Structures are given as structure tokens and as C-alpha cells.
Amino acid sequence: MKRNILNYTLPELELIVKELKEEKYRAKQIFTPLHQKHISHFKDIKSIPLAFRKKLSENFYIGSLSSLLISDSKKYNTKKFLFILPISDTKNNEEKLKIETVLISEKGRHTICISTQVGCNVGCEFCATGKMGLKRNLETSEIISQVYEVVKATGLAPTNLVYMGMGEPFLNYKNLIKSLTIFTSKDGLNISSRRITVSTIGLKNKIKIFADDLSKKENQSLRNIKVAFSLHSTDNGIRESIIPTSAYNKLSDIYEELTYYYKKLRTKITYEYIYFNGINNSDDDIKRLERLSKMVPCNFNIIPFHPIDFHLNKPLDVFNKLDKGKIDERNEISLLNLGLNDFIAKLKSKKIIVNLRSSSGVDINAACGQLAVIN
């Protein structure tokens, strides 16, 4: 059976080339066209002999994602891509799985928001992807191809990559690491690790393992990757009610791992905090956030709560009362986020480094928490 050659890092390709009785340097001659020029056929690799191209074609294929739909925001310079996966997981191959990817362009930056799973089994109450459940993990090729297909469609080279799309990256750990290795390779896309962020809901031991792996000599190109922790509440009880897996991943344990990550890599931690008016914006919340801000160098991204087309359970059920059919989008968002600016002002008064994350793409369901493919 032929294998997708985009699933392999350069060191892995070197082993494959050796198995095919070819010289080691041929691996780079394959890797670079694949990941810099995004070629679709082996015949386009002119730097290798015809006989070797034929040998590759007999054993491998260059997989790709098919773009079903590109949605353009009318308010923001944001595009959402709906991709169909090349591998079917349904009976009789009647239907293929789909994922969503987002391109946000602002102030000369082109940030691609990448998915790592089809759906997600973490089950965050506020997240449309979590309402899908988990279909399967993405292969390495499917993770990196999102970026390559966006580049092909837009002609824009990414300046930043964020693993904040569909899925929990640390639950697809092996392919996460491989995709990061490919993206940062000087013979591939060659994106600086300083421009890559991996977001996680917080799974015990995963952040520590990630820090240890990024510290390895062979992973020097990954060393400056940022971790964004999806916090959303400093109260264990509230957090467990909106993020079910928090019951097994206590905040105290995750805080210890984030401290370990900083001490190991000296990379500032980012805390993601969706604003839920009346739920996570009390004076006590502010005090706990202030203490947290002093633990290690960090910044807080405050995110407006974006509406999703699903019924919300307690304690977020209070937001079900908004009549989405009668309230225009601008007013709806302001009602969902009453007091947001005051909350940010209070945090800043405590000398906390705070950023308000924009709602880029909210009109096309491309903002934080809105990605979902329901067949």
C-alpha cells in the first residue's frame, strides 16, 4: 500500500531513502520541493533522476486536502476554509470527514489557525467543536496540508501559526511534534518557533513532557514555541462545570507544569480567558488572576464569548436567553460581553499584562470557539 510522503520529517525521509538504496542527500532534494514549493506530483522534482521519481511513485503518494468552501468575512480580513480529508472513515466510502482552518490577516501579519483533530472529546461547554465529539486525530500530513492549501489559495505566506483550531493538540501529540518539526525545518517552511503557539486546555503531565521534548538537542528548532493555556476560570468548581476534563486535571497541577515549562525554556506563558459575565469576572477572580500573573512571566488574552448554535448547560445556560433571531450581531455580542472593558481595566490596574483578542471572523463562525462541522 502506498504511503503519504507528507507524513515524514526530513530525518525519517533520510531513512526511507536509504531503504530505497539511494544516497542520503536525496532526502533533502525531496523534502524541500514538498514543503517549500508544495508540489503535487513527483514528476515535478527535477533534481532527482527519473528512475528515482518512478520508484517514489511506486511506493508513495503526495496527499492533499480538498477545499470545499472558502468563507470571507465582511467585517474582518479573515477567511475560513472548509477542507475534506483524503481518507474516509465511513462505511462504503460514502462520506469523508471535514475540518475547518482560519486565516487572519491584520497589520502585515498572516496567522493561520490550525486544527489537529476532527472534532474534540474534551467537551468544553462554550466550544462548538467540543459539541461535535471526536471523530479521529489528524495525520501529520493533514495538519501541515492545511497551511499549504491556504498558501496555494491565497498566495500569502504565513507569518504566524497557532494550533487553536479544532481539537486538543496534546491529544494528538506525536503528530503535533512531527508537524512542528516540519514547519520549523530550514529545508521546509522554515517558520521561526517564536512565531508558533500551541494552545491546550491543560492535561496533566503533557505540558511537562512538551517542555522536555522541546529541550532536546535534536529539537533545537522548536525551542521557542509558546504555550497558551486555556484557563477561563480560576475557580476549580466553575472550571470543571465548563471544561469536564478539569476534574482530572486540577489547576494546581497545571500551574506547576506551566512553571516548569517557563523555567525549562524561558518562554513567557499565555493564559487564554474567555469572558463570561457574572461567572468569571468577580473581585475574587481578579485577585486570583493577579496572584497567577506573579507566578511566572506571562500575559493574559481576554477573549469575548462568541455565540454558538448549540444549547448551553449550566452555568452558561444564562446565555441561552439571548434571542439570536431578533438581535443583530453587533448588539448580541455586546450583550454577551457586558462589562468586558471594565474587567480588562481592573486587571490592568493590578499591573497584569492584558490583551483583548479581537473577534475576527465572528460573522462567518470563524472566531474562538465557533469552529464546527456537523454533517
Residue 143 belongs to domain spanning: 66-364
Same-domain pairing of 278 and 181: yes
* pLDDT, tens digit (0-9, with 9 covering 90-100), for 14-42: 999 999 999 999 999 999 999 999 999 99
Is residue 307 domain-resident?
Answer: yes
Please indicate, yes or no, whether residues 133 and 34 belong to a single structural domain of this protein: no
CATH of the domain at 29: 1.10.150.530
47 and 164 inside one domain: no
Structure confidence by residue, pLDDT tens digits, 72-116:
998 889 999 999 997 644 444 446 899 999 999 998 899 999 999
Q: Do residues 112 and 160 make contact, with C-beta atoms less than 8 angstroms apart?
A: yes
Instruction: State the average pLDDT for the chain.
Output: 92
Task: Report pLDDT for 324.
Answer: 52
pLDDT for the residue numbered 320:
83
157 has pLDDT over 80: yes
Beta-ladder partners of 98: 84
C-alpha distances in Å from residue 126, one per residue of 263, 270, 308: 32, 20, 8
State whether 229 and 296 are in the same domain: yes
pLDDT for residue 94: 44
Q: How do residues 272-327 score in pLDDT, each as one tens digit?
A: 999 999 999 999 999 999 999 999 999 999 999 987 888 889 999 988 876 554 44
- pLDDT confidence bin for 330, thresholds 50/70/90: low
Residue 15 counted as domain residue: yes
Share of the chain above pLDDT 70, in %: 94
Asked if residue 375 has pLDDT above 60, the reply is no
Identify the residue whose cell numbers are 431578533. 326
Q: Is residue 335 part of a domain?
A: yes
State residue 87's pLDDT score.
60
- Structure confidence by residue, pLDDT tens digits, 215-232: 999 999 999 999 999 999
Regarding whether 193 and 255 lie in a shared domain, the answer is yes
Does any domain span residue 371? no
CATH of the domain at 184: 3.20.20.70
> Is 101 part of a structural domain of the chain?
yes
Q: Is residue 23 part of a domain?
A: yes
pLDDT above 60 (res 329): no
Query: Given this model, what pLDDT does residue 306 score?
Result: 85
> Comparing 197 with 362, which gets the higher pLDDT?
197
Kindly state whether residues 82 and 112 are assigned to the same domain. Answer: yes
Residues 48 and 79 in one domain: no
Residues 167 and 35 in one domain: no
Q: Which of 40, 61, 82 finishes a domain?
A: 61
Residues 48-73: pLDDT tens digits? 999 999 999 999 999 989 998 999 99
pLDDT of 362 > 90? The answer is no
Is 368 among the residues known to form the active site?
yes
Angle between helices 140-154 and 173-184 (to 10 degrees): 40
Of 113, 120, 127, 368, which one is the catalytic site residue?
368
Domain contains 370: no
In this structure, are 97 and 234 located in the same domain? yes
Domain end (from 20, 42, 61): 61
The total number of structural domains in the chain stands at 2
Domain boundary among 61, 87, 111: 61
Instruction: Kindly state the average pLDDT of the residues 189-194.
Output: 96
- 253 in the same domain as 193: yes
Active-site option among 100, 142, 149, 168: 100
Please tell me whether residues 254 and 230 are part of one structural domain: yes
Q: Are both 57 and 70 inside the same structural domain?
A: no
Residue 374 inside a domain? The answer is no
